[in-house]
Amino acid sequence: MKGFVLLAGLTIGLLAGYLTFSSINPRLPQLSVSNLLPSSRYSNLKPRILCWVMTAPENHETRAIHVKRTWGKRCDKLLFMSTSSGRVLIRFQNADSNLPAIKVDEAEEGIDNLWLKTKGAFRYIVEHHFDEADWFLKADDDTYVISRT
């Protein structure tokens, strides 16, 4: 008798779970790629992309400047978040020797403070640049992004 009750309960539970999470249930919205694509009235608009790159003062000359010169050009807005602010002069002979770095006040440099630095960067972007982009891309200074915009 206990085996029958256990089997019946298991069967009813599995059936209820199937009906709840399957496409048979019309109450649950169905997610498909077509729902994520922009409608035709927006299809001719180019999405605005804000890229923000987490960097450190010691990487301004070796990593961040190369982000700015390569894939950073494809961003509509490119921001570098660091614990050092201002325009850092890069000692390269090529043009474009200024790297605008925004100081994140919430944190000091170091792996233990990454979340504080990220949170401070989010706060800065929301307060100063939120309406300037449709999409936001967070990357590190050792990341290469292939953008097809």
In this structure, are 26 and 54 located in the same domain? no
Residue 117: HSE in the Cβ half-sphere, 13 Å Cα cutoff: 22
Shared domain for 12 and 58, answered yes or no, is no
**In terms of domains, do 66 and 127 share one?**
yes
CA-nearest of 114, 129, 122, 135 to 47 is 135
Range(s) of the domain holding residue 19: 2-37
Residue 82, classed as helix, strand or coil, is strand
pLDDT of residue 48: 92
Residue 145, in any domain of the structure: no
Q: Based on the domain organization, do 14 and 82 belong to the same domain?
A: no
Residue 52 lies in a domain: yes
pLDDT, tens digit, for every residue of 26-43? 555 555 555 555 555 556
149 domain residue, yes or no: no
Residues 6+ apart with CB under 8 A from 126: none
- Does 148 reside within a domain? no
pLDDT digits (tens, 9 = 90+) for 68-104: 999 999 999 999 988 765 444 343 333 344 677 777 7
What global pTM score does this model have? 0.61
Same domain (yes/no): 33, 51: no
Number of domains in the chain: 2
